[in-house]
Structure 1
Amino acid sequence: MLTKKQLELLTFIHERVQSEGVSPSFDEMKLALNLRSKSGIHRLITALEERGFIRRLAHRARAIEILRLPEALGRPAATGFAPRVIEGNRNENSQAANIEPVTINAVELPMMGRIAAGVPIEAISEISHNVAVPGSMLSASGNHFALEVKGDSMIDVGINDGDVVVIRETATADNGDIVVALVDEEEATLKRFMRRGNAIALEAANPDYETRVYAEDKVRIQGRLVGLIRSY
């Protein structure tokens, strides 16, 4: 049986993973639960892990896997798209092995090369090969493609070097979306999109990287993150 705070935290993590594909940061958890320090979050996380509701993935920033949910949270979501994170090389002897297997309908997507999660690299221009991704990651409409992540500028949202991101093609984005942005028609980068008046800020999720601000006509959105395939 979970305490009220443990249930609140598990609900918050579950909803964030369903909506964004990555777990929230400890700071976001602290704010959501109205706690004064992150030490309280650490205790709640430990309690949820000991009770078999979650698993923390070693050496991964913001990587929490939900193993099971209380009956109150186990119902399917009412509406909307729920991106998933697919873990690579999972240990079959882990607690997650007790979960009933789910049949996944795979869809072949073009792998368009690498995308910089760091300093921008050359623009995406050609298909290198196809990659199979779960159909549940894809929106009902629109074209999708995959990219291999190069760099560590987005590690605080759980996007690591070598991961594969699933992108839905779009030319527009809302503040806070993680997007593939083409800068000066030359360099492509994966960053969080923020509009600042007539300028566009491309924000990293790693304090070692500065936010880059460009004139609106210097940035062209090529797609929005909808899924993540994690590699080890």
Structure 2
Amino acid sequence: MLTRKQRDLLAFIHKRVQRDGVPPSFDEMKDALDLRSKSGIHRLITALEERGFIRRLAHRARAIEIIRLPEDLAASGGFVPRVIEGDGPAPRAPATARTVQVDAIELPLMGRIAAGVPIEAISEVENHVAVPGQMLDRGGEHYALEVRGDSMIDAGINDGDVVVIREQDAADNGDIIVALVEGHEATLKRYRRQNGMIALEAANPAYETRLLREDQIRVQGRLVGLIRSY
């Protein structure tokens, strides 16, 4: 059973690929579903994969294959599995799949970020990671961090994932951000203003929301993408 948003995304991708022969961009998917950020699209794509409607391709940045449709969509005719943009490696695609090439950009992997109890901030570059260009916001600087912990698991962010962060020093309510707490602890949480305080919300009921003064927190970036290895 698909949620309405999952079905709408699958239908939109299918329609565009059948019409144009190429997939829509993440920005086009976001606009079509009236979502605020591309991270919502990443969560929907992950859900579609888990339900067996799509499959991510091995060694292809942001490439997945549509492998089936719900009966009502398939009945509209003409369904042939095609490759569309995705966000990570997966099992090898069948020979009939069509691959869409996407430019990749190397970002500095700055270390690990806690999705749990905050850890010390890590600012030195440990490595570099190739990220699809369409995952990035235009006109901004980006970096990557490896996630440690499970406090954001209900937002689709798992231990071991690599998150792509756009550098910025401000955030809107609901954004998932990298927050520097009291100058030395870095954590990945959802940002909200609440009664003159800043709430850092987990996406796991096992973790409590932290309420801090504005002067205790410095926003260091906003989540724009996620890479998962299998």
Which residue identity does 2:44 align to in structure 1? S
Q: Which residue of 2 aligns with 1:23?
A: 44
- C-alpha change, 1:136 and 1:162, in structure 2 (3 Å) is same
| 3-state SS of 1:166 partner | strand
Equivalents in 2 of 1:24, 1:138: separation in Å?
Answer: 17
Displacement of 1:124: 2.5
Q: Which residue of 2 aligns with 1:109?
A: 107
Q: Which residue of 1 aligns with 2:19?
A: none
- C-alpha change, 1:189 and 1:11, in structure 2 (3 Å) is same
Equivalents in 1 of 2:137, 2:55: separation in Å?
Answer: 28
Displacement of 1:87: 2.5
Q: Which residue of 1 aligns with 2:221?
A: 223
Runs of 4+, deviation exceeding 3 Å = 5-9, 12-19, 52-56, 68-72
Displacement of 1:23: 2.6
Q: Which residue of 2 aligns with 1:87?
A: 88
Displacement of 1:131: 1.0
Equivalents in 2 of 1:211, 1:85: separation in Å?
Answer: 32
Q: Which residue of 2 aligns with 1:33?
A: none
Query: Which deviations, in whole Å up to 9, do the C-alpha atoms of 1:7-52 show, x marking residues without a partner?
Result: 66511677369552213999xxxxxxxxxxxxxxxxxx8xxx5xx7
| 3-state SS of 2:137 partner | coil
Where do 5+ consecutive residues of structure 2 fail to align?
Answer: 11-28, 57-63, 77-84
1:43-192 map, 5 Å = 53-54=53-54, 67=66, 86-88=87-89, 90-92=90-92, 99-192=97-190
Tell which deviates more after alignment, 164-173 or 123-132: 123-132
Residues 23 and 158 in structure 1, CA contact (< 8 A), matched pair in contact too? no
Where do 5+ consecutive residues of structure 1 fail to align?
Answer: 27-44, 57-64, 73-83
Displacement of 1:98: 5.4
Equivalents in 1 of 2:202, 2:166: separation in Å?
Answer: 20
| 3-state SS of 1:165 partner | strand
Residues 146 and 165 in structure 1, CA contact (< 8 A), matched pair in contact too? yes
Equivalents in 2 of 1:108, 1:9: separation in Å?
Answer: 30
Equivalents in 1 of 2:188, 2:168: separation in Å?
Answer: 14
Greater relative contact order, per chain length (Cα 8 Å cut-off, separation 6+):
1
Residues 25 and 156 in structure 1, CA contact (< 8 A), matched pair in contact too? no
Displacement of 1:54: 4.6
Q: Percent identity, aligned pairs only?
A: 56
Displacement of 1:67: 2.6
| 3-state SS of 1:22 partner | helix
TM-score when scaled to structure 2?
0.69
Alignment of 1:10 onto 2:7? yes
Residues 194 and 200 in structure 1, CA contact (< 8 A), matched pair in contact too? yes
- C-alpha change, 1:192 and 1:7, in structure 2 (3 Å) is closer
Equivalents in 2 of 1:188, 1:161: separation in Å?
Answer: 16
- C-alpha change, 1:7 and 1:210, in structure 2 (3 Å) is closer
Which residue identity does 1:11 align to in structure 2? D
Equivalents in 1 of 2:169, 2:140: separation in Å?
Answer: 12
- For the aligned residue pairs, the C-alpha RMSD in angstroms reads 3.4
Residues 65 and 97 in structure 2, CA contact (< 8 A), matched pair in contact too? no
Residues 5 and 44 in structure 2, CA contact (< 8 A), matched pair in contact too? no
Q: Which residue of 2 aligns with 1:30?
A: none
TM-score when scaled to structure 1?
0.68
Tell which deviates more after alignment, 118-127 or 17-26: 17-26
Query: Which deviations, in whole Å up to 9, do the C-alpha atoms of 1:159-201 show, x marking residues without a partner?
Result: 0111000000000100100000000011000000011132000
